[in-house]
Amino acid sequence: MTNPLTRRQVLQRSALGFGSLALADLLSENSRADGPVAGPLAVKRPHFPATAKRVVFLFMHGGVSHVDSFDPKPKLIEMNGQPLPFAKPKFEFGGTGNLLASPWKFQKYGQSGIEVSDLFPHIGGCIDDIAVIRSMNGADFVSHGPALLNINTGSGVFARPCLGAWTLYGLGSENQNLPGFLSLSPSLYHGGAQNYGSSFLPATFQGTRLGDGGTHFKEAKLSSLSPGEKPELQRLQLDLLKRRNERHLASQGPDSALEARIDSFELAFRMQAEAPEVMDISRETAETHAAYGIGVEPTDEFGRQCLLARRCLEAGVRFVQVNFSYPRNYWDAHGDLRNNHTTNAARVDLPIAALLKDLKARSLLSDTLVIFGTEFGRTPAAQGSDGRDHHPHAFSVWLAGGGIRGGVTYGQTDEFGYYVTENKVTMPDFHATILHTLGLDHEKLTFRHAGRDYRLTDVHGHVVKEILL
């Protein structure tokens, strides 16, 4: 019978920061820090009032076909088997043939009547909370590796901090006893850890990986969070350590670095107590498990990921990336599109809808940004007889909650879905918009490295205000 908000308050510890960084780079950012101690993970005030306090990024690895999911193209049915009447892009991954009609029908959903294909009936049911962007452009990154890096870090070429790391750097963490940025089952391929890494930002901001794309999420564990000693004994040991360090501090100090180190052990001790509790989804009711499709196939694994994401967000984790990733889960339908997308959609559709509904029921959706993204779309022309190739030139993603206007679409592609014809959204635009909901100005969120200020959006990016409330 707990009120969700109270439960969150209980779960969230004081946002007191700790620690020191040798770099002066953080000082400018620290001017926004709350609390008496300016630590890298201390909660920081955003640049302007935020509509989203936390983020869950549902990442679909492999490339979800836009023309089979959120961007209906009747013209493809009409011209099925015929050649594309204009030139194909300069950069293509493989070769494609003639146009291929979508094997799925599209239905109108909700008050808004936005069309969603039969792949995603459950997500369709939530469409009035969703803003679909049909005009994403992934530059010329036609391979998975660069394209994954592009959506996750803003650069398909250079090593850069990822979106989650920038978010944590910009806002700090609400709960010092949990990692501020978790990546669930990320792929070890196609950029691997770079996709949740901090690059030149201090390592504090990197994503903590839980599981990987090659392992069932049931098996995922957080390293170093299982106590090496029984807690009672570890307490004795920590007390000995504390006495020793305090004697040392008395002779050498005062020194904030030495003091922060002493504090860090206490925080570690609390973290290892709290994290397993938050990570334990068995504490949820059977109804909740059922709603997320846990315990039944094909939704068990992604359901677990989504439910854990909700528990973490509720406990004050700033950014959770939920990956549906290679090699076990992969949207890369070069052949047999029908089978590939049917199988994959059946695994994620229900859990994603359950997450949206659950967040809403707990009054969390209004300040939680939900992102559904993929590295590129798929070619409206067929690869082989029944597949689709990589297509970064136009594809669809969607956002929900956290200040996003629900039940709208933004941008358009041509009648085949080949090119963006209206309101192109580049990756920097997409990232700028996400940061904007978090109250962060993408042009001001900078980090001085190698002699210049770096941004997630480099020197580009416009906030897509049309999809904001």
Positions in 134-193 near another protein (CB under 8 A):
135, 140, 142-146, 149, 157-159, 176, 179, 188-193
Q: Which of 227, 298, 384, 407 binds another protein (CB under 8 A)?
A: 227
Do residues 347 and 329 make contact, with C-beta atoms less than 8 angstroms apart?
yes
CA distances in angstroms from 230 to 129, 235, 237, 244, 269, listed in the order given: 46, 9, 11, 21, 11
71 touching another protein, by CB under 8 A: no
Question: For residues 446-465, which are near another protein according to CB under 8 A?
Answer: 449-452
Q: How many CB atoms lie within 10 A of CB 145?
A: 16
Which residues in the 323-342 window bind another protein by CB under 8 A?
Answer: none
Task: Considering only residues 272 through 301, tell me which ones interact with another protein, judged by CB under 8 A.
Answer: 272
In the complex with another protein, the residue whose CB is nearer, 310 or 455, is 455
> Which listed range, 44-52, 97-105, 123-131, 246-254, lies at the site for another protein (CB under 8 A)?
246-254
Kindly identify the residues of this chain, within the stretch 409-438, that bind another protein according to CB under 8 A.
419-424
- 236 contact partners, CB below 8 Å, separation of at least 6: none
Q: Does 346 bind another protein (CB under 8 A)?
A: no
C-alpha 121/C-alpha 398 separation (Å) is: 15
Nearer to another protein, 23 or 290 (CB): 23
- Which residue type sits at 71? D
Q: Which residue number, 222 or 404, has a Cβ lying nearer to another protein?
A: 222
Q: Are residues 431 and 445 in contact, defined by beta-carbon separation less than 8 angstroms? A: no
| 375: region left, alpha or beta (phi > 0 left; psi from -120 to 50 alpha) | alpha
Integer Cα distance of 160 and 170 in angstroms: 15
Structure tokens at 119: 């792949």
Asked if 265 interacts with another protein (CB under 8 A), we say yes
Query: Cα–Cα distances in Å, from 53 out to 58, 321, 368, 440?
Result: 17, 15, 6, 11
250 binds another protein (CB under 8 A): no
Report the C-alpha gap between 243 and 229 in whole angstroms.
19
Check binding of 212 to another protein (CB under 8 A).
Answer: yes
Q: Is 35 in the site for another protein (CB under 8 A)?
A: no
Interacting stretch for another protein, rule CB under 8 A, among 17-25, 97-105, 298-306, 376-384?
A: 17-25
Is residue 230 a contact point for another protein (CB under 8 A)? yes
Q: Is 243 in the site for another protein (CB under 8 A)?
A: yes
Contact range with another protein by CB under 8 A, out of 96-104, 239-247, 372-380, 396-404: 239-247
Nearer to another protein, 184 or 306 (CB): 184
Nearest to 349 by CA among 369, 368, 324, 366: 324
Would you say 23 or 27 has its CB closer to another protein? Answer: 23
